């Protein structure tokens, strides 16, 4: 078995020589200022649609928080009730206004006393309750 080695020299590279780079610059014949931005019909429709969407979102979020009426609130007759064992807002509302809608009476009791919806009533709590006129 024999091994033969090739002893050919590598080609010589001249590292001092650099390739020639040419740069070409182009100059416009005449420079004109850019035209002002113009809004198309479709662009106007898009801007109006976005504005309406923003206004609608604001009305939906904040609209129910503020209600204004032309009439002043009529002062109602209010009595106080001390919560007894076994009483609920529904039973108190039914006793206070037997002829009225119980749901609206319960809502008024909650508003008058700043109660949280679904909160339990501690025994002995004094509540302001609207009564029949």
- The CA distance from 113 to 95, in Å, is 17
- The position carrying tokens 């019909």 is 41
- The CA distance from 128 to 8, in Å, is 111
* Span 92-117, average pLDDT: 87
Residues recorded for the chain: 133
Token couple for 51: 């504005």
What are the tens digits of pLDDT across the range 13-53?
Answer: 666 766 677 777 766 666 667 778 888 999 999 999 999 99
What is the reported pLDDT for 52?
96
Higher pLDDT pick, 79 / 20: 79
Cα dihedral 55, 60, 65, 70, rounded to 10, equals 70
What is the reported pLDDT for 1?
63
What is the reported pLDDT for 30?
62
Backbone angles phi, psi at 78, to 5 degrees: -125, 140
CATH code for the structural domain at 78-130: 3.10.350.10
User: What does the domain layout of the chain look like in residue ranges?
Assistant: 78-130
């Amino acid at each position: 078995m024999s091994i033969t080695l090739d002893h050919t020299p590598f080609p010589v590279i001249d590292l001092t020589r650099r390739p020639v780079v040419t740069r070409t610059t182009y100059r416009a014949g005449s420079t004109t200022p850019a035209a002002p931005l113009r809004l198309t019909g479709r662009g106007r429709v898009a801007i109006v649609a976005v504005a309406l969407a923003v206004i609608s979102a604001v009305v939906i979020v904040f609209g129910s928080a503020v209600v204004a009426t032309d009439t002043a609130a009529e002062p109602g007759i209010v009595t106080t009730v001390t919560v007894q064992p076994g009483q609920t807002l529904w039973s108190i509302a039914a006793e206070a206004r037997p002829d009225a809608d119980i749901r609206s009476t319960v809502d008024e009791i909650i508003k008058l006393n700043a109660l949280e919806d679904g909160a339990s009533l501690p025994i002995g709590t004094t509540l302001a309750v609207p009564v029949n006129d």
